[in-house]
Amino acid sequence: MAKDRQHRLPLVLGDLTLRRLRRLDASDMLAYRGDPAVAGKQYWEPYTPEGVQKLLAEQAYVEPGMFGVPLILAAEFDGKVVGDFSLTVNVPEHLQGEIGFNFNQSYTGRGLATRGLPAALGFGFIQLGLHRITAAAFTENERAWRLMERVGMRREAHFVHDGFVRGKWVDVFRYAMLEDEWRERYGELVGVVSV
């Protein structure tokens, strides 16, 4: 499917750019992926400098649309990477994918994720050829699930005790959006996210 397609990055949204990660992004990424407040909303522990370097090295070999491997797009604002969006093709024969996101707490409340998430979804739909993209958030992470609702994703499930994280069971809300739903809501972004 997506492997035979051509892909275009970066995606420029005014003062916000979504692009491939670079090795020089290490300190910016560590500022939020190493933050316990950010990691506390994820299954993973805070990243170390070595963990960020490993992630950046791995991303250099990820091709858009690879099965089961997240493609991480840096969210660059004001010359800094302030967050990221990860897109994973998880059921290629059914054109299904998953998206995730992380942001530096110092840059929240500016609408960056609200602008970036629809563009990252559009990249998945238009350039990767996906039909349906899902996302998940711990139920206690209200900012994340409110963001998904704000951009038009639909809550499809509430999973009780979906994982055992840092010594406690967590519940998860799962959201989804279809390509035609995205096109209806964000048709003006087609030119931004197309090849």
What are the DSSP E strand ranges found in the chain?
11-13, 16-20, 71-77, 80-91, 96-103, 132-138, 154-165, 168-178
pLDDT per residue of the chain (195 residues) written in tens, 0 to 9 = 445 567 999 999 999 999 999 999 999 999 999 999 999 999 999 999 999 999 999 999 999 999 999 999 999 999 999 999 999 999 999 999 999 999 999 999 999 999 999 999 999 999 999 999 999 999 999 999 999 999 999 999 999 999 999 999 999 999 999 999 999 999 999 999 998
CATH of the domain at 60: 3.40.630.30
Domain assignment present for 3: no
In a domain, 19, yes or no: yes
**Sheet containing 71-77: order of strands:** 11-13, 16-20, 71-77, 80-91, 96-103, 132-138, 168-178, 154-165
Q: Is residue 195 part of a domain?
A: no
Put residue 185 in one of left, alpha, beta given phi > 0 → left and psi -120 to 50 → alpha.
Answer: alpha
Q: Would you say the pTM of this structure is higher than 0.85? A: yes
* Residue from 116, 110, 114, 97 nearest 178 by CA: 97
Instruction: Say how far apart CA 150 and CA 144 lie, in whole Å.
Output: 10
What range defines the domain where residue 34 resides?
9-190
Q: Name the domain count of the chain.
A: 1
